[in-house]
Structure 1
Amino acid sequence: MSENKETPERRRERLRQEELKKNPTGNMNDAFNRANSGSLVDLVGSLGWKGTGILILVIIIGFIVASFFFK
């Protein structure tokens, strides 16, 4: 008898992931606002892999530009 009962934590995470898939641009705004009171894990988790990649590229480009201007 295997019961497929979903724990509240798993249900919350599943609903959050479904919402992220439905509204990616609104969630990006939420992610940046959440970063003020949350952690980096919350920011990256809500951005998804594409948003995280863009964020990493922006940081790398920022370092390159800063090192070019402030030698």
Structure 2
Amino acid sequence: MKELGLKKGYRVVVNNGQHGAQSVYYWLLHFKMKELGLKKGYRVVVNNGQHGAQSVYYWLLHFVGGRQMK
């Protein structure tokens, strides 16, 4: 897994009602993944809630890539 290199506590919130903002964030993420060498693809894992193994509740995304996923 490669780190995004973002400052601790950095959050991106996308308002579902604003398609323009979604597109901007999508492309920023796309280019960051490409920069990290994940241009062949990556998996996004979301942990949410107690059964998602969270003890502090916030939206957490993991970007996993760099190899073939099984």
Q: Which has the higher strand share?
A: 2
Q: Which has the higher helix share?
A: 1
Larger RCO: 1 or 2 (CA < 8 Å, sep 6+): 2
TM above 0.5: no
Structure possessing the higher radius of gyration over alpha carbons: 1
